[in-house]
Amino acid sequence: MDRIFTWFAGRMSALVGQPFAFVAAFALIVMWAATGPLFDYSDTWQLVINTTTTIVTFLMVFLIQNSQNRDAAAMQAKLDELLRTVATARPQFIGIEHLTDHEIERIRSALEVEARTRDSSEGPAAHETLERLLHRY
């Protein structure tokens, strides 16, 4: 069941992420709107689009979340492998995605302080490089 859902979620996410899917959805909305006068803008006519969009949105949330979860897990595995194999990396960072938001924020803040301390010890060159990079964009 898991493999089938993973396959289906991946295929559907790839399909609905294409420009064609947007164009098709837009065309359906235009067709629905164009039929308004034909159905005298009835409650049933409005209910059709409301029900359809609600169902599609409800189902797509689960498919997209599944794809995002898999992508995030794969990215974490790749980063963990880099941390494990790069000589100057700190392997203590492997698995920190399982910590609480507060714990991760404390680690991030400590890393920012460490980076600022390192930049100031390296002199103005590191700061100037960052300024040049920011001015490009």
Which pLDDT belongs to residue 20?
Answer: 95
- Are 64 and 109 in the same domain? no
Confidence of residue 103 (pLDDT cuts 50, 70, 90): very high
Q: Please check whether residue 41 lies inside any domain of the structure.
A: yes
Q: Please check whether residue 94 lies inside any domain of the structure.
A: no
- Are 19 and 48 in the same domain? yes
- Are 58 and 30 in the same domain? yes
- Are 124 and 85 in the same domain? no
- Are 104 and 38 in the same domain? no
Which pLDDT belongs to residue 131?
Answer: 75
- Are 111 and 45 in the same domain? no
End-of-domain residue from the set 50, 70, 89: 89
Number of domains in the chain: 2
List, as one string, the DSSP characters of the chain: -HHHHHHHHHHHHHHHTSHHHHHHHHHHHHHHHHTTTTTTT-HHHHHHHHHHHHHHHHHHHHHHHHHHHHHHHHHHHHHHHHHHH-TTS-GGGTTGGGS-HHHHHHHHHHHHHHHHHHHHHH-HHHHHHHHHHHHH-
Q: Tell me which residue range forms the domain holding 23.
A: 2-89
- Are 67 and 103 in the same domain? no
- Are 19 and 51 in the same domain? yes
- Are 50 and 6 in the same domain? yes
Q: Is residue 121 scored above 70 in pLDDT?
A: no
Which pLDDT belongs to residue 13?
Answer: 86
What is the pTM for the complete model shown? 0.63
Q: Please check whether residue 103 lies inside any domain of the structure.
A: yes
Confidence of residue 32 (pLDDT cuts 50, 70, 90): very high
Q: Mean of the pLDDT values across residues 43-59?
A: 95
Which percentage of the chain shows pLDDT scores above 70?
91
